[in-house]
Amino acid sequence: MEHQRKLFNDEHQQLGQLLDRMDQLPEDELGSKWPKSLAELIDVMAAELERQGLASDQARRMAGKQAGAVAHFLGGRVYYLPTGDKLKDALRDDMIWAEFNGRNMDELSSKFRLSQPHLYAILRQQRALHRARQQPDLFGPFNAQ
């Protein structure tokens, strides 16, 4: 495993040197070299980086480097990229937990377009998750054998 990690790091180091050359090339020249699917990936990544507060030009450069790394390691093969629905649901559920105050079920039901029974199930699950974070199972390590 350590040997594989070292090989990956060496390869990534070499790739990183190539990707860093992108900083010296004009934006329009770079853009003409990307296949359509990678250009779309760059647009998505750059938009999120801008939303996170990076300047537009810096976001595009960073997104280009990230897309280049993804293309290098995953490119040329059929690769299923999940939509992330489970992650979005988990984040939504955490947001519901954070916004719940004990008296705002109607508001949460409207905001998240969920029935109250569904909200109660989410809150029950979130309560258990948050309790486990705060108060770990005392017998967990012994039962894991």
Residue 142 has pLDDT above 70, yes or no: no
Q: HSE (CB half, 13 Å, CA atoms) of 87?
A: 3
- Residue numbers of the domain that contains 100: 85-136
Whether residues 65 and 114 share a domain: the answer is: no
Whether residues 95 and 68 share a domain: the answer is: no
> Is 118 inside a domain boundary?
yes
> Is 90 inside a domain boundary?
yes
Residue 82 has pLDDT above 60, yes or no: yes
> Is 79 inside a domain boundary?
no
Whether residues 61 and 16 share a domain: the answer is: yes
Whether residues 90 and 70 share a domain: the answer is: no
Could you report the per-residue pLDDT of 100-120, keeping only the tens digit for each? Answer: 999 999 999 999 999 999 999
Could you report the per-residue pLDDT of 6-57, keeping only the tens digit for each? Answer: 556 767 777 888 888 777 777 776 667 778 888 899 999 999 999 999 999 8
Task: Give the predicted TM-score (pTM) of the model.
Answer: 0.62
Whether residues 93 and 56 share a domain: the answer is: no
pLDDT score at 103: 96
Number of domains in the chain: 2
Whether residues 16 and 64 share a domain: the answer is: yes
Instruction: pLDDT band for 83, please (50, 70, 90 cuts).
Output: confident
> Is 1 inside a domain boundary?
no
Picking from 22, 51, 74, the residue at the C-terminal end of a domain is: 74
Instruction: pLDDT band for 73, please (50, 70, 90 cuts).
Output: confident
Whether residues 100 and 46 share a domain: the answer is: no
CATH code for the domain in which residue 126 is found: 1.10.10.60
